[in-house]
Structure 1
Amino acid sequence: MEIGVSTFVETTPDVHTGKTMSHAERISEVVEEIVLADQVGLDVYGVGEHHRPDFAASAPAVVMAAAASLTSRIRLTSAVMILSSSDPVRVFQDFATLDAVSNGRAEIMVGRGSFMESFPLFGYDVKDYEELFDEKLELLLQIQQSEKVTWSGKHRAAIDNLGIYPRPVQDRLPVWIGSAGSPESAIRAGAMGLPFALAIIGNVNPSQYAAHVKLYKEAAAKAGHDVSRLPIATHSHGFIAESNEKALEQFFPSTHARTNFRAVEKGLPPYHRADYDAACKFDGALYVGDPETVANKIIYLRKEVGITRFLLHVPHGTMPHAEVMEAIRLLGTEVAPRVRDEISRWEQEQDMERA
């Protein structure tokens, strides 16, 4: 069971001061967060790609490369790269370079993206949303599997037996599929035998995603893949403090501001404290509380949904850096050991029952 952190490198106005930090300041904070996550024994750190003023990470591989030489064991992944509007050759090259800098710790998580700014920025039409992703994923996987590539498609110039360099340190650079909960994405990822990551966001009960995992595993088995070897991850907003009350109060202001900002953008109803409190309950989508509370929610998710990796998205919006660092410290030193110990014990019991 892997435990880690993800971020979109938000630069939203501070809810207490009204000030907005610079992109450079936030990126510097993220490097410190990655270093701490490595020091406290977390398994993975993910950075998501965006092209808006309220996010600072348009180049996740570069951000993570800044931390790669300062860390020794933590895996570094995109969360996600917007493959539909990216060049798969350049994506592979960037992450193969990160793999070299980190000595074999890079991963690529790709998705379609829920924000559309990158499409006009790089000259793509949003109406080709699905077709772009399918075509570019095909090319990325060919590059993953072979040093020299011959490929042709509709939305990119053809490649005729050309080498793609550098090659990664790992025998094969991992490529994950990230999804916001589409059943079709689960089936597609399973049929292709690719690691699968689900974003558990909004007003949902996380256990509902067991149905997506079931679809994923059924499609993988049908295609002849070894289901037992396929990693499954979830990504959820959350926060950890020394007490439940402290965690709830520290995480609410930025979550409230950020969620309402997005609600206005998307034409959704406003977000209230009651919505937040409901999402923080045991069956809610927010993983907020003291170490025991958050650990128990992750353990339940592992047992009910079948995940092998959990990513805590923190912060949500702009929060004091010291509070974020403390949450990461608690995740690594108190939450992760609880989860690993319980899952190890539970799996041993499962093995004994099957025997």
Structure 2
Amino acid sequence: MIELGISTFGETTALEGSGQVFSHDERIRQLVAEIELADKVGLDVYGLGEHHRADFAVSAPEIVLAAGAVNTKKIRLTSAVSILSSMDPIRLYQQYASIDALSNGRAEIMAGRGSFTESFPLFGYDLKDYDQLFDEKLDLLLYANQESKLNWKGTHTQTIPNREVYPRAVQKGGLPIWVATGGHVESTIKIAQMGLPIVYAIIGGNPKYFKGLVDAYRKIGRENGFGLEQLKVGAHSWGFIMEDGQEAVERYFHPTKQVVDAISKDRPHWSPMTYDQYLQQLGPDGAMFVGNPDQVADKLIKMIETLGLNRFMLHLPLGSMPHQDVLKAIELFGTKVAPKVRAYFAMKEEK
């Protein structure tokens, strides 16, 4: 069955109208409330991203997820993503093994290279080693996830001479480790060859573009001896839900434009968002899921079916919105969108 959940970066942009900006500490407390609500309304997973800049509140998602683990019962808790290239894989494993203990076996890691690069100079890494850092650190993370005593010779990582790593994950077989990508062919091939579950960030253009990548991922994975139960595919996309679909469209433009315009200042291939571009992404061939519960569910069913997804995470919100609106959107996703999507695929399974 399809897993459905929420992802967020804890954005802190100016609210429409008032211009208010949530402080980082307030936004972090809000995130714990969001995790608890997502669990209460029956969502399957909650993911929290890592950033190191003023417009995002979360630099240590594992701390917030640990707080969210305490008062939740079923929801899985994952980074989305951990910037593996600029952190110690052993410490990362220990942190999520600790979340696994607090949640009684609900922790996961989503590893990524990081689409933002602020963490590299902050922690003393050179961007010229961008790919090599990720590849070596992923190998070490996977090793630590499977073995408690490590004997490791590092090039971009430390050398570990027969040292033990604790605590161990509660889950049998270790922590689930997903790898995130923006849709690069080379990344898809590497992840498939390793038999690791993959997550695509589908945040622009037509999601159908990713079908070729998903098909190639599963084909290459099977050719390398991995079964479909290992070759899981997830995606996350931007979106927002209100009872009134038109109001959702109107309310979501401002926070979305705030984030896109800020990113476009640092990335030459991005440009400030126009309202027409925004509406195009909300259309049937766009990557945003904005509207009332039925509109979001119907569009989501189409994408899940087209791509053959095992997991979907709605990135909510993109840019800051009044917290009561965010909580309401999470509630609608859990109580109205998710049941409709699950019922559709359950019926297909029965046939």
- Specify the TM-score bucket, using the shorter chain as the normaliser: over 0.9
- Partner SS for 2:162: strand
Distance 1:229 1:192 in 2: 10
Q: How does 1:77-226 map to 2 (within 5 A)?
A: 77-171=78-172, 172-202=174-204, 204-226=205-227
Cα displacement (A) at 1:150:
0.9
Of 292, 305, 308, which aligns to 2:307? 305
Measured in 2, the distance between the counterparts of 1:88 and 1:211 equals 31
Give yes or no for contact 1:238–1:314 (8 Å, CA) kept in 2.
yes
Residue 15 of structure 1 and its aligned partner are, at CA, apart by 2.9
In structure 1, C-alpha distance between the alignment counterparts of 2:264 and 2:230, rounded to whole Å = 39
Q: Does residue 346 in structure 1 map to residue 351 in structure 2?
A: no
- Secondary structure at the counterpart of residue 296 of structure 1: helix
AA of the residue aligned to 2:189: I
* Alpha carbons 1:188, 1:219 under 8 Å: kept: no
* CA displacement at 1:263 relative to structure 2: 1.4
Q: Report how far residue 303 of structure 1 moved.
A: 1.1
Q: Secondary structure at the match of 2:304?
A: helix
- Distance in 1, Cα, partners of 2:210 & 2:223: 20
Q: Name the structure 1 match of 2:326.
A: 324
**One-letter amino acid of the structure 2 residue matched with residue 325 of structure 1:** L
**Aligned 8 A contact 1:14 1:318 in 2:** yes
Q: Within 5 Å, which residues of 2 pair with 1:38-49?
A: 38-49=39-50
Q: 1:298-344 deviations in whole A, cap 9, x for unaligned?
A: 11112110101110001111101011001000000000000001011
Structure 1 residue 73 and structure 2 residue 74: aligned? yes
SS at match of 1:227: coil
Cα distance between partner residues in 2 of 1:153 and 1:211: 35
Matched, 1:334 2:336: yes
Which residue does 1:253 correspond to in 2?
254
Q: Give the letter aligned to residue 57 of structure 1.
A: V
The share of aligned pairs that are identical, in percent, is 49
Residue 298 of structure 2 corresponds to 296
**8 A Cα contact 1:263 1:269, kept in partner:** yes
Aligned 8 A contact 1:201 1:237 in 2? yes
Q: Which residue of 2 aligns with 1:25?
A: 26
Unpaired runs of 5+ residues, structure 1, are: 350-355
- 3-state SS of paired residue (2:5): strand
Are the equivalent residues in 2 in contact too, given 1:236–1:313 (CA < 8 A)?
Answer: yes
SS across alignment from 1:311: strand
Are 1:235 and 1:311, in contact at CA under 8 Å, matched by a contact in 2? yes
| Alpha-carbon distance in structure 1 between the residues aligned to 2:131 and 2:271 | 28
Contact map agreement 1:254 1:317 (CA 8 A) in 2: yes
1:103-150 CA-to-partner distances (Å, cap 9, x unmatched) read 100000000001010000110000100000000000000001101111
Q: Is the Cα–Cα contact under 8 Å of residues 213 and 305 in structure 1 kept in the other structure?
A: yes
Alignment of 1:224-235 (within 5 A): 224-235=225-236
The one-letter code of the counterpart of 1:93 is Q
How far 1:229 sits from its partner (Å)? 4.1
State the alpha-carbon separation in 1 of the partners of residues 200 and 49 from structure 2.
Answer: 14
* Counterpart contact for 1:31–1:67, Cα < 8 Å: yes
2:274 matched residue in structure 1:
272
Where 2:104 maps in the other structure, the secondary structure is coil
State the alpha-carbon separation in 1 of the partners of residues 17 and 264 from structure 2. Answer: 20
* Structure 1 residue 265 displacement after superposition: 2.3
In the other structure, the counterpart of 1:353 is none
| Aligned residue pairs, count | 348
What's the TM-score, normalizing by structure 1? 0.96
Whether the 8 Å contact between 2:207 and 2:303 is mirrored in structure 1 is yes
Q: C-alpha separation between the residues in 2 aligned to 1:265 and 1:129?
A: 18
> Contact between 1:183 and 1:215, CA under 8 Å: does it hold in 2?
no
Q: Secondary structure at the match of 1:323?
A: helix
Q: Report the RMSD for the aligned CA atoms in angstroms.
A: 1.0
TM-score (norm 2): 0.97
Please say if residues 240 and 329 of structure 2, whose CA atoms lie closer than 8 Å, have aligned partners that are also in contact.
yes
Name the CA distance, whole Å, in 2 between partners of 1:299 and 1:148.
44
Counterpart in the other structure of 2:10: 9
Cα shift readout 1:125-184 (whole Å, capped 9, x = no counterpart) = 001000000000000000011011111121122001111110011011111000011111
Structure 1 runs (4+) greater than 4 angstroms displaced = none
